[in-house]
Chain A
Amino acid sequence: MDMKVNKKLGLKERYNLMTRDLAWTPTYQAVKDVFPYTEYEGIKIHDWDKFEDPFRMTMDAYWKYQAEKERKLYAIMDAFTQNNGHLGVSDARYINTLKLFLTGVSPLEYMAHRGFAHVGRQLAGAGPRVACLMQSLDEIRHAQTQIHSLSNYNKHYNGFNNWRHQHDRVWYLSVPKSFFDDAISAGPFEYMIAIGFAFEYVLTNLLFVPFISGAAYNGDMGAMAFGFSAQSDESRHMTLGLEIIKFILEQDPDNLPIVQRWIDKWFWRGYRVLTLVAMMMDYMLPKRVMSWKEAWEIYAEENGGALFADLARYGIKVPKGWAQACADKEHLSHQAWNVFYNYGAAAPFHTWAPSEKDMEWLSQKYPDTFDKYYRPLWEHYAAEQKEGKRFYNTTLPMLCQTCQIPMFFTEHGDPSKVAYRESTYHGMKYHTCSDGCKEIFDNEPEKYVQSWLPVHQIYQGNCFTPEANPGAPDFNPLAEVLKWYRMEMGRDNLDFEGSQDQKNFAAWRAQASGN
């Protein structure tokens, strides 16, 4: 005779018992005193219990699966290190994408940890609080595993050793840094739309999937392992982003215009940050998985299009800058890498002009724009370089007050004309790179006038070490700024051609194949 065993609880029951059922309504203190930030942004929530995580992930299951992910990841990292896995990558140029990642992305993971910890504390419902707690723990795991994995590269290559110091100082790193600082200094609902929805749901696939699939394609098992391990958490993050926006919109019709403005703002802010990813995909990977344009078509136009078609029933419209971002896919990476080639003396990674073979690929992927607008530029640089006159721009660029990117983006529909916008606030003029960034500035000028713009700060004398003497006759401002960045001239920067990284990689590879 069969024994009748009590079946364990179903997923829905477990989720209810382990999340909402563990929460309570405070009586010693008023709810609005316990959650003081939930009203000032104008968002109206009537019933927090309407939020439900569709994964129905409970904390006990969370620990179990996260522990399994960590075990897998660290086993791969050990094997990679023990096997000198860094010598298996396609080419030493590839390693520069990792420098960009460690200085630009990993510190954002840490900020996301702080952001979700803060917001998780401030949202008044148990469902979103638990989901934010999990995401906060995920994000600190991502920061830690990226630092651990990339520390192996730091043993062998230049440009990795001062990533944290540089994140707060180096000119182009103010782009990702200010993006996250902007989000984390907003209210809890805006933060959820900014990071949870606009970044995680609409844009994160463009950052992680091509980056990490690119790492795999270029033989980097280490970066592939941390990337996919992080990405396995992203599905939960994306889901939180989508559920929270639906929840806010379903709670009160007055929430729609506020949410729409945040979507317009944060889509554009996030899209601008992804400029760095576009040039990484098209120019920095020796073996490319797909072009930026193709990735944009799949992950933004196709999937993002489906998402906004679905949100239309709440009255949500496609973000304002959408059409321009779609048109600019033909130009973004080329214009960005040109700027990095120009300022290759001031970045802690190597830059280079694309080879003839690289340019064939670019012509094929960008038949309407590459040969017409960008090939002549690269051929000009290559000719100069052949004569021993590699061009380094020593005049600092004007930066956009909102996104902090140098003003190199061209006008919508005219790639030969650089776009400038101007606003006046309290008698002062402020410059922005696009209609999107101007509108963001004009909506909250009191916030963006505070931007710490690296170029302004250099000219004001705030980016030198205490030992520097700007009055000295032989004072060299660039050299002094590099000292303050903790970059070593000629070792951490300049062209890949002739770099120590290039020489070491070739020598070590030769040792690996014979003695």
Chain B
Amino acid sequence: MSNVFIAFQKNEDSRAIVEAICEDNPQASVNEQPAMVRVDVPGRMVIKRSSIEERLGRSFDLQEMQIHLITLTGHIDETDDEFVLEWRH
């Protein structure tokens, strides 16, 4: 199965986002590069608003990720509570 991935600029918000992804997707692997961080998950990745809020200690709108995003792959489905990336093959 192919990986989906997402990459963020390295900063305090994205640190919380990456931690949340790793907890909600046990197969996640994190790859740190200069000024950026990339997370890969086989097949499907779920990013949960509630997990990010827990770490940031404030309310978080998933669309705020737009500010820190660098790149991603896979089909996207975004709602108020979850952001999903997946391949369908």
Contact = CB atoms under 8 A, between A and B. Distances in A.
Interface stretch (A271-279, A298-306, A416-424): A298-306
A209 B73 CA distance: 14
A242 interface: yes
A55 B75 CA distance: 10
B68 interface: yes
Interface in A301-316: 302-303, 305-307, 309-310, 312-313
B59 interface: no
Interface in A214-266: 214, 216-217, 224, 228, 231-232, 234-236, 238-239, 242
Given A11-B80, A239-B76, A309 B71 contact: no
B2 A231 contact: no
A69 interface: yes
B66 A303 contact: no
B67 A72 contact: yes
Contacts of B66: 55, 57, 65, 69, 232, 235-236
B60 to A, nearest CB: 13
B35 A224 contact: yes
B29 interface: no
Contacts of A239: 76
Interface string B23-64: 000000000011110000000000000000000000000011
Contact of A303 (B9, B33, B73, B76): B73
Given A238-B72, A242-B75, A57 B67 contact: no
A12 interface: yes
A388 interface: no
A205 interface: yes
A212 B89 CA distance: 31
B34 A289 contact: yes
A216 B74 CA distance: 26
A132 B50 CA distance: 31
B73 A54 contact: no
A61 interface: yes
A217 B76 contact: no
Interface residues of A, number: 41
B20 interface: no
B71 A55 contact: no
B70 A56 contact: no
B53 to A, nearest CB: 16
B88 to A, nearest CB: 6
A428 to B, nearest CB: 43
B37 to A, nearest CB: 11
B71 A310 contact: no
Contacts of A235: 66, 69-72
Given A10-B80, A55-B78, A305-B2, A289 B67 contact: no
A38 to B, nearest CB: 25
A307 to B, nearest CB: 7
A216 B9 CA distance: 11
B63 A232 contact: no
B79 A10 contact: yes
B71 A205 contact: yes
A213 interface: yes
A68 interface: yes
Given A57-B63, A217-B34, A306-B2, A232 B75 contact: no
A309 B3 CA distance: 12
A232 B68 contact: yes
Interface string A431-450: 00000000000000000000
A109 to B, nearest CB: 17
Contacts of B78: 11, 54-56
B15 to A, nearest CB: 16
B2 A309 contact: yes
Contact of B70 (A68, A209, A305, A310): A209
Contacts of B72: 235, 238
Contacts of B2: 302, 305-306, 309-310
Contacts of A217: 34-35
Contacts of A310: 2, 75, 87-89
B35 A216 contact: yes
Interface in A45-73: 54-57, 61, 65, 68-69, 72
A302 B76 contact: no
A185 B71 CA distance: 28
B40 to A, nearest CB: 10
B79 A313 contact: no
Interface string B1-19: 0111101010000000000
A238 B74 CA distance: 10
Nearest 9 CB-CB pairs, A to B? A306-B2, A216-B35, A54-B76, A217-B34, A216-B34, A235-B69, A65-B66, A310-B89, A231-B70
Given A72-B67, A306-B3, 13 more contacts: A10-B80, A11-B80, A12-B79, A55-B66, A69-B66, A209-B7, A235-B66, A236-B66, A238-B73, A242-B75, A289-B33, A289-B34, A309-B87
28 contacts: A11-B78, A54-B77, A54-B78, A55-B76, A61-B63, A65-B64, A65-B66, A65-B67, A68-B67, A205-B71, A208-B70, A208-B71, A216-B34, A216-B36, A217-B34, A224-B35, A232-B68, A234-B71, A235-B66, A235-B72, A242-B75, A303-B5, A303-B73, A306-B2, A306-B4, A309-B2, A310-B89, A312-B89
Interface of B: 2-5, 7, 9, 33-36, 63-64, 66-80, 87-89
